Chain A
Amino acid sequence: MKLEDLRKIRERASKNISLRQGDARVNVVIGMGTSGIAAGARDVMAAFLDEIGKRDLNDVIVTQTGERGLASSEPVVEVHIKGEPVVVYGEMSDVRARRVVAEHVVNGNAVTDYVIEVRK
């Protein structure tokens, strides 16, 4: 093994511990209250995780939160991007989740069709 090989291993291995570094660019927060889960929040989360994994995005973390009081709009998902307003999406689904990853998380354009709130 040469130093370059070591650095290659590091690049790969650092992804493995990136969750612990606390420097994620994007935080996707999924509402996992009772009504969220009933409306399919688990599947939405699975879709986010799958899509983020497929695209190998290392600066994105997925976390959960509780009930927001917007039962009719569940599943509700917030996208926090560093230095930008928080975008809240409603009535998310597997397909919509994948679109949010592609258009908002990767390209930085909120998917206006599903937005229910923008918070400063």
Chain B
Amino acid sequence: MRRLDVLVCSGASCVSSHSEAVRDALATEIDRQGLTQEVRIVETGCMGPCELGPVLLVYPDGVFYIRVAAEDAAEIVEEHFLKGRPVSRLLWEDPEARRIAEERKQVPFFEKQHKTVLGNCGKIDPESIEEYIGSGGYEALGRALTEKTREELIECIEEAGLRGRGGAGFSTGKKWRFVAQAGGDPKYVVCNGDEGDPGAFMDRSLLEGDPHSIIEGLAISAYAVGANHGFVYIRAEYPLAIKRLNIALEQARESGLLGDHILETDFSFDIEVRIGAGAFVCGEETALIASIQGQRGNPRPRPPYPATCGVFERPTLIDNVETVGNIRHIVLHGAEWFRSVGTEESPGTKVFALSGKVCNTGLVEVPMGTTLRELIFDIGGGVPDGKAFKAVQTGGPSGGCIPAEYLDTPIDYESLGKLGTIMGSGGVIVMDEDNCMVNIAKYFLEFTCDESCGQCTPCRVGLRQMLSILERITEGEGRMSDLDELQELAKVIMATSLCGLGKSAPNPVLSTLRYFRDEYVEHIEQETCRAKVCPAFLRYEIESELCKACDKCRASCPADAITGSPGSPPYVIAEEICIRCGRCLEVCPFGAVCLKTGP
């Protein structure tokens, strides 16, 4: 009999920190100790705390190991699996209380989370349909097909108040109804997995960790709107998600859960995977449709909306991966259950990808209405290295930055909108005092400039103009009138762009102008970058009383900007030759090199 399940996180970030070597080493040791009958290794999807990877979770005791290396396998197997003594040096420890978490549930990162959509992620083997079915999988599809009418399903989703998790927050039930009512045959359903925001990895993790839940959700939505053919659009940068989804699709077909007469009913449905080349604009639904059809991923004006004229000009339902991931839970537990979590206007949970200057980077799921402070400080563990929190960016290149004074804002579509940002698909980038907000705005604008499809002038030319103004400001050539001009350009671009990319691209600039105008003014009037990021306002200097004339800085300088001779301090940096690479600051053993900004 088996007594231990050892769950090895095989999400992309644990794989990249060598979880596969850990898995192999564990298997070897388990075999060596003669425990193969008693202990089983299960590879799962992302458990969430990517920062701590590779992570292991051992059931039934719930012991949670962090930063495990292949070399630790022998000790874990002998001490824990054989003798029952968890290896405490590999357990999570509360940095303040110096208390070791003996079980996963004692780790605060997990404590405040509410995992519904990610419920199976990190708990079952994503490559095993048996485990998915064992945890209740495909029951919702079975019930939908045998016990519910299409109308009942649409009503159920409408009543639940599920809103699109891709960012805009449109009512999913309404969308279903539009497609169901649209005339024309065939109809299509599409799952949008073209996740392109910098710092976002929710869709990837869900597809990697629980691909069957997406198949099931999509099949239910297809039944509800009357479609027999579906597409999952994933970007080519997600090879592991594509591989696991393809395995899951094959398993579902073999089990009669996809294909003709699913579960021996009249309903037939199958799914094709379409791999995108990674253009950000293809996340926009009309561009995505073009891409699925094999055309260049250009958006087109709406209306007509995809609900009436989508893939191959047929009525098409397009839902985001996380939205689809919610469907089976709502069908199984009902609209009221779904509404019991989250807020009145934004029911349910939301998955976020925490990244940037935050201790616990990773994947989390919280009820809507959770505050940004809870998300960043309680779950995320706050800003590392004792630095001060400056802002949080949500919604990627279409969103904005929120400063510290709004940390107690509940996370829902409306509250974030009022602050000049958007919910977006769930990327959350935390920034500290070392981030220059002008530079951040410039970074996002560079991104949208690159990703603009170039069809419409406001987006193609307007964003480029905004970027050149920002470049001017960060290079010390800014004028105060630039700030008004940025705002004017933003207004026009947002009003006149063809698609969502252009309409939302000025948001990072507008929100930083709104909350961090001081920093813009400092750049323009005082030639100062307080975060010490923009090279034009920086200079490296050597403090003469600290310099020991060790010659290390001069030897390391790639521009020969430092002069001096060994043994006779001080050394001097020639500002006009210095390229501000920071090498001297890194190598100086005495802290004599300092970075200064301002006139």
A2 to B: closest C-beta gap in Å: 5
Using a CB-CB cutoff of 8 Å, which residues 81-128 of chain B contact chain A? 82-85, 123-124
Interface residues of B in 55-91 (CB under 8 A from A): 59-62, 82-85
A45 to B60, CA, bound (A): 16
Known: A16-B130, A16-B134, A17-B131. Contact between A66 and B3, CB under 8 A? no
In the bound complex, residues from chain A placing their C-beta under 8 Å from that of B2 are 19
Interface centre among B142, B143, B255 (most CB of A within 10 A): B142
Pick from B5, B62, B123, B142: contact of A6, CB below 8 A. B142
Instruction: Tell me whether A33 is interfacial, beta carbon within 8 Å.
Output: yes
CB distance from A8 to the nearest CB of B (A): 10
- In the complex, A55 Cα to B536 Cα: how many Å? 75
Cα of A87 to Cα of B334 in the assembled complex, Å: 43
Q: Which residue of B lies closest to A16 (CB)?
A: B134
Q: Nearest B residue to A51 by beta-carbon distance?
A: B1
Q: Check: A9 CB closer than 8 A to any chain B CB.
A: yes
Closest Cβ of chain B: how far from A51's Cβ, in Å?
8
Distance between Cα atoms of A30 and B85 in the complex (Å): 12
A3-B146, A3-B263, A49-B3 known; A63-B133 Cβ under 8 A: no
A56-76: contact bitstring with B at CB < 8 Å (1 yes, 0 no)? 000001111110000000000
B61 close to A13 (CB less than 8 A) = no
Tell me, yes or no, whether B38 is within 8 Å of chain A by CB.
yes
When C-beta atoms are compared, the residue in chain B nearest to A2 turns out to be: B264
B side interface size, CB within 8 A = 36
**For chain B residues 465-482, which have a beta carbon within 8 Å of chain A?**
none
Q: Which B249-263 residues have a C-beta within 8 angstroms of A?
A: 255-257, 263
- One digit per residue, 1 when the CB lies within 8 angstroms of any chain B CB and 0 when it does not, for chain A 7-38 equals 10110111111011010100100101100010
Q: Which of B83, B84, B133 contacts A13 (CB 8 A)?
A: B133
Instruction: Please tell me if A1 contacts chain B, counting CB pairs below 8 Å.
Output: yes
Known contacts A32-B83, A33-B83; is A1 also within 8 Å of B255 by CB? yes
Q: How far is the CB of B10 from chain A (nearest CB, A)?
A: 16
Residues of chain B within 8 A of A33, CB atoms compared: 83
Q: Do A17 and B83 have beta carbons less than 8 Å apart?
A: no
Given contacts A32-B82, A63-B84, A66-B85, whether A20 and B5 have CB atoms under 8 Å apart is yes
Tell me whether B138 is interfacial, beta carbon within 8 Å. Answer: yes
Chain B residues near A9 (CB-CB < 8 A): 130, 133-134
A24 to B60, CA, bound (A): 9
Residues B124 and A17 in contact, CB atoms below 8 Å apart = yes
Docked-complex contact A63 and B60, CB < 8 angstroms = yes
Question: Given the interface contacts A1-B255, A19-B60, A20-B59, does A10 sit within 8 Å of B133 by beta carbon?
Answer: yes
**Chain B's nearest CB lies how many Å from the CB of A80?**
12
Contact between B1 and A53, CB atoms less than 8 A apart: yes
Is B135 interfacial (CB-CB < 8 Å)?
yes
Nearest-neighbour CB distance to chain B for A46, whole angstroms, equals 8
- The smallest C-beta distance from A5 to any residue of chain B, in angstroms, reads 8
Is A88 part of the contact surface with B, judged by Cβ < 8 Å?
A: no
Pick from A1, A20, A61: contact of B7, CB under 8 Å: A20
Q: Which residues of B are at the interface with A, using a C-beta cutoff of 8 A?
A: 1-5, 7, 37-38, 59-62, 82-85, 123-124, 130-131, 133-139, 142-143, 145-146, 255-257, 263-264
Further 18 A-B residue pairs, CB within 8 A, beyond A3-B263, A7-B142, A64-B85:
A1-B263, A3-B146, A6-B133, A6-B257, A6-B263, A9-B130, A16-B130, A17-B134, A19-B2, A19-B59, A20-B59, A22-B60, A27-B60, A32-B82, A33-B83, A49-B3, A49-B37, A64-B83
Nearest 10 A/B pairs, CB to CB: A64-B84, A13-B134, A53-B1, A49-B1, A1-B256, A3-B142, A14-B134, A61-B60, A62-B3, A13-B130
A-B contact pairs, 14 of them (CB 8 A): A7-B139, A9-B133, A10-B133, A10-B137, A17-B5, A19-B59, A20-B60, A20-B124, A24-B60, A32-B85, A45-B3, A61-B60, A63-B3, A64-B85
